[in-house]
Amino acid sequence: MLETLGEPSYRAGQIMKWIWGRGIDDFSIMTNVTKTLRTRLNQDFRVLRPIIRQTKTSIDGTIKFLLSLSDDRLIESVLIPSGDHYTQCLSTQAGCPLGCRFCSTGRMGFERNLTSGEIAGQILSARAFLDEKKDQLPVNNVVFMGMGEPLLNWVQVEKALKIIRASDALNFSRRKVTLSTVGIKDKLIEFGRSNLALTAISLHAPDQNLRKELMPEAARYELEDLIADLESYPLAPRERITIEYVMLRGINDHIAHARELVRLLSRVKCKINLLKFNPDQKSDLESSGEQTIEAFQNFLRSKGVTVMLRKSMGADIFAACGQLKARLDGH
Ligand code: SF4
Protein backbone atom coordinates (compact mmCIF):
# COMPACT_ATOMS: atom_id res chain seq x y z
CA MET A 1 0.00 0.00 0.00
CA LEU A 2 2.81 2.42 0.93
CA GLU A 3 4.54 1.72 -2.37
CA THR A 4 1.46 2.97 -4.23
CA LEU A 5 1.99 6.25 -2.33
CA GLY A 6 5.51 6.40 -3.75
CA GLU A 7 7.16 5.39 -0.45
CA PRO A 8 10.14 3.03 -0.15
CA SER A 9 9.29 -0.49 1.07
CA TYR A 10 11.21 -0.10 4.36
CA ARG A 11 8.60 2.43 5.53
CA ALA A 12 6.16 -0.42 6.26
CA GLY A 13 8.66 -1.90 8.73
CA GLN A 14 9.16 1.50 10.38
CA ILE A 15 5.42 2.00 10.82
CA MET A 16 4.97 -1.60 12.08
CA LYS A 17 7.58 -0.90 14.72
CA TRP A 18 5.79 2.22 15.92
CA ILE A 19 2.35 0.61 16.03
CA TRP A 20 3.17 -2.89 17.29
CA GLY A 21 6.60 -2.55 18.85
CA ARG A 22 5.97 0.71 20.72
CA GLY A 23 2.19 0.76 20.96
CA ILE A 24 1.91 4.21 19.27
CA ASP A 25 -1.40 4.92 17.54
CA ASP A 26 -0.76 8.54 16.55
CA PHE A 27 1.02 8.89 13.18
CA SER A 28 2.23 12.42 14.08
CA ILE A 29 4.68 10.94 16.62
CA MET A 30 6.33 8.65 14.04
CA THR A 31 9.35 10.93 13.61
CA ASN A 32 11.39 8.77 11.23
CA VAL A 33 8.56 8.95 8.69
CA THR A 34 8.39 11.97 6.38
CA LYS A 35 6.07 14.78 7.38
CA THR A 36 4.09 14.47 4.14
CA LEU A 37 3.43 10.78 4.79
CA ARG A 38 2.49 11.43 8.42
CA THR A 39 -0.09 14.00 7.29
CA ARG A 40 -1.42 11.61 4.65
CA LEU A 41 -1.68 8.73 7.13
CA ASN A 42 -3.42 10.95 9.69
CA GLN A 43 -5.95 12.00 7.06
CA ASP A 44 -6.75 8.55 5.70
CA PHE A 45 -6.12 6.02 8.46
CA ARG A 46 -6.74 5.31 12.10
CA VAL A 47 -5.05 2.73 14.28
CA LEU A 48 -7.80 0.86 16.11
CA ARG A 49 -7.32 -1.53 18.95
CA PRO A 50 -9.93 -3.33 21.08
CA ILE A 51 -11.30 -0.98 23.74
CA ILE A 52 -11.42 -2.12 27.35
CA ARG A 53 -15.02 -1.83 28.57
CA GLN A 54 -14.70 -3.68 31.85
CA THR A 55 -11.93 -5.18 33.96
CA LYS A 56 -12.10 -7.55 36.87
CA THR A 57 -9.14 -8.42 39.06
CA SER A 58 -9.09 -11.66 41.00
CA ILE A 59 -7.65 -12.10 44.48
CA ASP A 60 -4.97 -14.25 42.81
CA GLY A 61 -3.94 -11.34 40.53
CA THR A 62 -5.65 -12.59 37.36
CA ILE A 63 -7.07 -9.69 35.34
CA LYS A 64 -9.94 -10.21 32.99
CA PHE A 65 -10.87 -7.73 30.26
CA LEU A 66 -14.13 -7.35 28.44
CA LEU A 67 -13.17 -5.63 25.17
CA SER A 68 -15.28 -4.09 22.45
CA LEU A 69 -14.43 -4.18 18.76
CA SER A 70 -15.12 -1.52 16.12
CA ASP A 71 -18.63 -2.97 15.52
CA ASP A 72 -19.31 -3.07 19.29
CA ARG A 73 -19.07 -6.83 19.53
CA LEU A 74 -17.60 -8.01 22.80
CA ILE A 75 -14.72 -10.37 23.41
CA GLU A 76 -12.62 -11.34 26.40
CA SER A 77 -8.94 -11.52 27.19
CA VAL A 78 -7.24 -12.56 30.43
CA LEU A 79 -3.87 -11.74 32.01
CA ILE A 80 -2.59 -14.51 34.25
CA PRO A 81 0.32 -13.62 36.55
CA SER A 82 3.02 -16.31 36.46
CA GLY A 83 6.10 -15.41 38.51
CA ASP A 84 7.88 -12.47 36.90
CA HIS A 85 5.48 -11.97 34.00
CA TYR A 86 1.91 -12.18 32.76
CA THR A 87 0.64 -14.75 30.31
CA GLN A 88 -2.12 -13.31 28.14
CA CYS A 89 -4.97 -15.42 26.87
CA LEU A 90 -6.26 -14.18 23.48
CA SER A 91 -9.60 -14.59 21.73
CA THR A 92 -9.78 -15.39 18.03
CA GLN A 93 -13.54 -15.30 17.41
CA ALA A 94 -16.50 -13.44 18.89
CA GLY A 95 -18.44 -16.44 20.22
CA CYS A 96 -17.68 -19.91 18.90
CA PRO A 97 -19.58 -22.31 16.65
CA LEU A 98 -18.34 -25.51 18.31
CA GLY A 99 -20.57 -25.65 21.40
CA CYS A 100 -18.40 -27.71 23.75
CA ARG A 101 -20.56 -28.65 26.75
CA PHE A 102 -18.17 -27.34 29.39
CA CYS A 103 -17.68 -23.89 27.81
CA SER A 104 -19.63 -20.65 28.28
CA THR A 105 -18.45 -19.30 24.91
CA GLY A 106 -19.80 -22.42 23.24
CA ARG A 107 -23.27 -21.67 24.61
CA MET A 108 -23.26 -18.15 23.06
CA GLY A 109 -23.05 -19.35 19.49
CA PHE A 110 -20.90 -17.77 16.81
CA GLU A 111 -20.87 -14.06 15.98
CA ARG A 112 -17.85 -13.52 13.73
CA ASN A 113 -14.16 -14.13 13.15
CA LEU A 114 -11.73 -11.55 14.49
CA THR A 115 -9.24 -9.85 12.19
CA SER A 116 -5.50 -10.28 12.72
CA GLY A 117 -5.36 -6.71 14.08
CA GLU A 118 -8.12 -7.45 16.60
CA ILE A 119 -6.36 -10.61 17.73
CA ALA A 120 -2.85 -9.17 18.17
CA GLY A 121 -4.35 -5.82 19.26
CA GLN A 122 -5.56 -7.44 22.51
CA ILE A 123 -1.90 -7.43 23.56
CA LEU A 124 -1.59 -3.68 22.92
CA SER A 125 -4.80 -3.02 24.87
CA ALA A 126 -3.51 -5.03 27.84
CA ARG A 127 -0.09 -3.36 27.75
CA ALA A 128 -1.67 0.11 27.66
CA PHE A 129 -3.82 -0.84 30.66
CA LEU A 130 -0.78 -2.09 32.62
CA ASP A 131 1.20 1.06 31.73
CA GLU A 132 -1.59 3.23 33.02
CA LYS A 133 -1.73 1.24 36.26
CA LYS A 134 2.08 1.46 36.54
CA ASP A 135 2.11 -2.34 36.71
CA GLN A 136 5.69 -3.32 35.80
CA LEU A 137 5.01 -7.02 35.18
CA PRO A 138 5.55 -7.58 31.43
CA VAL A 139 3.30 -9.63 29.16
CA ASN A 140 5.86 -12.20 28.02
CA ASN A 141 3.75 -15.18 27.03
CA VAL A 142 0.61 -15.49 24.97
CA VAL A 143 -1.79 -18.37 24.60
CA PHE A 144 -4.53 -18.65 22.00
CA MET A 145 -6.99 -20.09 24.47
CA GLY A 146 -9.71 -17.46 24.77
CA MET A 147 -13.03 -17.23 22.95
CA GLY A 148 -13.25 -19.13 19.69
CA GLU A 149 -11.45 -21.95 17.91
CA PRO A 150 -8.27 -20.46 16.35
CA LEU A 151 -8.00 -22.94 13.49
CA LEU A 152 -11.52 -22.08 12.28
CA ASN A 153 -10.10 -18.60 11.65
CA TRP A 154 -6.70 -19.73 10.42
CA VAL A 155 -6.13 -17.04 7.77
CA GLN A 156 -6.40 -14.22 10.32
CA VAL A 157 -4.77 -16.20 13.13
CA GLU A 158 -1.74 -16.92 10.94
CA LYS A 159 -1.38 -13.19 10.19
CA ALA A 160 -1.76 -12.37 13.90
CA LEU A 161 0.91 -14.95 14.78
CA LYS A 162 3.26 -13.31 12.28
CA ILE A 163 2.69 -9.90 13.92
CA ILE A 164 3.24 -11.42 17.36
CA ARG A 165 6.45 -13.13 16.25
CA ALA A 166 7.97 -10.46 13.95
CA SER A 167 11.05 -8.71 15.33
CA ASP A 168 9.82 -5.32 14.04
CA ALA A 169 6.39 -5.90 15.62
CA LEU A 170 5.62 -7.65 18.94
CA ASN A 171 8.76 -9.79 18.88
CA PHE A 172 7.73 -12.87 20.90
CA SER A 173 9.88 -15.96 20.46
CA ARG A 174 8.15 -19.16 19.33
CA ARG A 175 8.40 -20.86 22.71
CA LYS A 176 6.48 -17.97 24.31
CA VAL A 177 3.43 -18.47 22.09
CA THR A 178 1.02 -21.41 22.35
CA LEU A 179 -2.02 -22.09 20.20
CA SER A 180 -4.64 -24.29 21.80
CA THR A 181 -7.05 -26.09 19.49
CA VAL A 182 -9.64 -28.85 19.65
CA GLY A 183 -8.04 -29.99 16.38
CA ILE A 184 -9.51 -29.07 12.99
CA LYS A 185 -8.76 -31.58 10.24
CA ASP A 186 -6.09 -30.43 7.75
CA LYS A 187 -5.75 -27.02 9.42
CA LEU A 188 -3.95 -28.63 12.35
CA ILE A 189 -1.15 -29.92 10.15
CA GLU A 190 -1.04 -26.62 8.25
CA PHE A 191 -0.58 -24.80 11.55
CA GLY A 192 2.08 -27.29 12.68
CA ARG A 193 4.01 -26.77 9.46
CA SER A 194 3.86 -22.97 9.85
CA ASN A 195 6.20 -23.37 12.84
CA LEU A 196 4.81 -20.16 14.33
CA ALA A 197 3.86 -21.38 17.83
CA LEU A 198 3.76 -24.31 20.22
CA THR A 199 0.73 -26.60 20.08
CA ALA A 200 -1.81 -27.52 22.75
CA ILE A 201 -4.69 -29.90 22.02
CA SER A 202 -7.97 -29.64 23.96
CA LEU A 203 -8.62 -33.36 24.24
CA HIS A 204 -10.72 -33.79 27.40
CA ALA A 205 -11.77 -37.38 26.66
CA PRO A 206 -9.84 -40.59 26.03
CA ASP A 207 -12.33 -42.14 23.58
CA GLN A 208 -14.42 -41.03 20.63
CA ASN A 209 -17.84 -41.62 22.26
CA LEU A 210 -17.14 -39.54 25.33
CA ARG A 211 -15.47 -36.83 23.28
CA LYS A 212 -18.53 -36.69 21.04
CA GLU A 213 -20.72 -36.24 24.10
CA LEU A 214 -18.58 -33.41 25.50
CA MET A 215 -17.46 -31.76 22.26
CA PRO A 216 -19.95 -32.80 19.58
CA GLU A 217 -18.67 -30.56 16.79
CA ALA A 218 -14.97 -31.02 17.55
CA ALA A 219 -15.45 -34.79 17.52
CA ARG A 220 -16.23 -34.69 13.78
CA TYR A 221 -12.46 -35.00 13.51
CA GLU A 222 -12.44 -38.63 14.69
CA LEU A 223 -10.15 -39.22 17.62
CA GLU A 224 -8.34 -41.98 15.76
CA ASP A 225 -7.51 -39.56 12.90
CA LEU A 226 -6.52 -36.77 15.29
CA ILE A 227 -4.12 -39.07 17.14
CA ALA A 228 -2.68 -40.41 13.87
CA ASP A 229 -1.98 -36.80 12.81
CA LEU A 230 -0.38 -36.04 16.18
CA GLU A 231 1.90 -39.08 15.86
CA SER A 232 3.48 -37.59 12.76
CA TYR A 233 3.13 -33.95 13.83
CA PRO A 234 6.03 -31.61 12.95
CA LEU A 235 7.92 -30.86 16.18
CA ALA A 236 11.31 -29.40 16.99
CA PRO A 237 13.77 -31.76 18.72
CA ARG A 238 12.71 -32.26 22.37
CA GLU A 239 9.46 -30.32 21.80
CA ARG A 240 6.22 -31.86 23.00
CA ILE A 241 2.56 -31.24 22.33
CA THR A 242 0.54 -30.19 25.39
CA ILE A 243 -2.63 -32.22 25.90
CA GLU A 244 -5.30 -30.30 27.83
CA TYR A 245 -7.67 -32.44 29.90
CA VAL A 246 -10.34 -30.78 32.04
CA MET A 247 -11.29 -32.92 35.03
CA LEU A 248 -15.08 -33.38 35.16
CA ARG A 249 -16.64 -35.15 38.12
CA GLY A 250 -18.00 -38.58 37.27
CA ILE A 251 -17.56 -37.96 33.54
CA ASN A 252 -13.92 -38.41 32.49
CA ASP A 253 -12.09 -38.77 35.81
CA HIS A 254 -12.03 -42.51 36.55
CA ILE A 255 -8.79 -44.46 36.62
CA ALA A 256 -10.17 -46.40 33.63
CA HIS A 257 -10.14 -43.09 31.71
CA ALA A 258 -6.55 -42.44 32.78
CA ARG A 259 -5.58 -45.94 31.59
CA GLU A 260 -7.27 -45.31 28.24
CA LEU A 261 -5.51 -41.96 27.95
CA VAL A 262 -2.10 -43.57 28.46
CA ARG A 263 -2.89 -46.11 25.75
CA LEU A 264 -4.24 -43.48 23.35
CA LEU A 265 -1.23 -41.18 23.69
CA SER A 266 1.46 -43.85 23.85
CA ARG A 267 2.92 -42.88 20.47
CA VAL A 268 2.42 -39.10 20.71
CA LYS A 269 5.29 -36.91 21.95
CA CYS A 270 3.30 -35.04 24.58
CA LYS A 271 2.80 -33.90 28.14
CA ILE A 272 -0.59 -33.68 29.83
CA ASN A 273 -2.04 -30.61 31.56
CA LEU A 274 -4.89 -31.52 33.88
CA LEU A 275 -7.24 -28.59 34.44
CA LYS A 276 -9.69 -27.98 37.22
CA PHE A 277 -13.08 -27.06 35.84
CA ASN A 278 -14.30 -23.49 36.53
CA PRO A 279 -18.06 -24.11 36.67
CA ASP A 280 -20.61 -21.43 35.87
CA GLN A 281 -24.24 -21.19 36.88
CA LYS A 282 -25.61 -22.59 33.62
CA SER A 283 -23.39 -25.65 33.55
CA ASP A 284 -24.60 -29.10 34.56
CA LEU A 285 -20.98 -30.20 35.04
CA GLU A 286 -18.78 -30.06 38.12
CA SER A 287 -15.06 -30.18 38.71
CA SER A 288 -13.57 -33.44 40.01
CA GLY A 289 -12.57 -33.42 43.67
CA GLU A 290 -8.98 -32.97 44.87
CA GLN A 291 -8.48 -36.65 45.72
CA THR A 292 -9.80 -37.86 42.39
CA ILE A 293 -7.52 -35.46 40.53
CA GLU A 294 -4.54 -36.56 42.60
CA ALA A 295 -5.26 -40.25 41.98
CA PHE A 296 -5.66 -39.57 38.23
CA GLN A 297 -2.40 -37.62 38.14
CA ASN A 298 -0.54 -40.29 40.14
CA PHE A 299 -1.75 -43.03 37.83
CA LEU A 300 -0.49 -41.13 34.77
CA ARG A 301 2.87 -40.50 36.48
CA SER A 302 3.20 -44.16 37.41
CA LYS A 303 2.97 -44.94 33.68
CA GLY A 304 5.80 -42.54 32.87
CA VAL A 305 3.60 -39.74 31.53
CA THR A 306 4.68 -36.12 32.21
CA VAL A 307 1.64 -34.55 33.82
CA MET A 308 0.96 -31.20 35.44
CA LEU A 309 -2.03 -29.85 37.27
CA ARG A 310 -2.82 -26.35 36.11
CA LYS A 311 -4.14 -24.17 38.88
CA SER A 312 -7.59 -22.77 38.34
CA MET A 313 -7.01 -19.01 38.18
CA GLY A 314 -9.51 -16.22 38.59
CA ALA A 315 -12.48 -18.41 39.59
CA ASP A 316 -13.92 -15.47 41.58
CA ILE A 317 -14.04 -13.24 38.47
CA PHE A 318 -15.42 -15.77 35.95
CA ALA A 319 -12.07 -16.04 34.21
CA ALA A 320 -12.81 -19.19 32.23
CA CYS A 321 -13.40 -18.67 28.53
CA GLY A 322 -16.57 -16.71 27.84
CA GLN A 323 -17.86 -16.53 31.41
CA LEU A 324 -17.71 -12.76 31.85
CA LYS A 325 -19.46 -11.98 28.58
CA ALA A 326 -21.98 -14.77 29.21
CA ARG A 327 -22.95 -13.16 32.50
CA LEU A 328 -23.42 -9.85 30.75
CA ASP A 329 -25.58 -11.40 28.04
CA GLY A 330 -27.53 -13.62 30.45
CA HIS A 331 -26.42 -16.89 28.76
S1 SF4 B 1 -13.92 -24.79 24.36
FE2 SF4 B 1 -13.06 -23.59 22.68
S3 SF4 B 1 -13.77 -24.72 20.85
FE4 SF4 B 1 -15.08 -25.42 22.54
S5 SF4 B 1 -16.86 -24.05 22.47
FE6 SF4 B 1 -15.37 -23.14 23.90
S7 SF4 B 1 -14.23 -21.68 22.66
FE8 SF4 B 1 -15.25 -23.09 21.26
Evaluate if residue 1 carries a pLDDT over 90: no
Residue nearest to ligand 1 atom 4, measured at CA: 100
Q: Given pLDDT bands bounded at 50, 70 and 90, which one contains residue 5? A: confident
pLDDT in tens, 189-238: 999 999 999 999 999 999 999 999 999 999 999 999 999 999 999 999 99
Mean pLDDT over the full length of the chain: 93
The burial of 23, by beta-carbon neighbours within 10 Å (0-12 exposed, 13-18 middle, 19 or more buried), is given as: middle
Q: Is residue 99 in contact with ligand 1, taking CB distance under 6 Å?
A: yes
Q: Catalytic: 76?
A: yes
1.10.3210.10, 1.10.150.530, 1.20.120.530, 1.10.260.40: which CATH number matches 1-47?
1.10.150.530
Separation of 149 CA from ligand 1 center, angstroms? 6
Give the pLDDT of residue 330. Answer: 53
Q: Given pLDDT bands bounded at 50, 70 and 90, which one contains residue 107? A: confident
Separation of 102 CA from ligand 1 center, angstroms? 8
pLDDT in tens, 34-67: 999 999 899 988 889 999 999 999 999 999 999 9
Q: CA torsion sign, 126 to 322 to 292 to 208? A: negative
Give the start-to-end residue ranges of the domains of the chain. Answer: 1-47, 56-329
Residue nearest to ligand 1 atom 7, measured at CA: 148
Separation of 51 CA from ligand 1 center, angstroms? 23
Evaluate if residue 278 carries a pLDDT over 90: no
Give the pLDDT of residue 4. Answer: 77
Evaluate if residue 165 carries a pLDDT over 80: yes
Residues 6 or more apart in contact with residue 215 via CB below 8 angstroms:
98, 100, 101, 182, 202, 204, 205
CATH topology of domain 56-329: TIM Barrel (3.20.20)
Give the pLDDT of residue 9. Answer: 83
Q: Annotated catalytic residue: which of 7, 76, 111, 149?
A: 76
Around Cβ 28, how many Cβ atoms within 10 Å? 12
Q: Is residue 151 in contact with ligand 1, taking CB distance under 6 Å?
A: no
Separation of 104 CA from ligand 1 center, angstroms? 8
Residue type, 277: F
Which of 30-39, 117-126, 141-150, 250-259 is the least confident region?
30-39
Pocket test for ligand 1, best of 75, 89, 105 (most atoms within 8 A of CB): 105
Cross-strand bridge partners of residue 201: 181, 243
Residue of 238, 227, 144 whose CA lies nearest to 185: 227
Evaluate if residue 321 carries a pLDDT over 70: no
pTM: 0.94
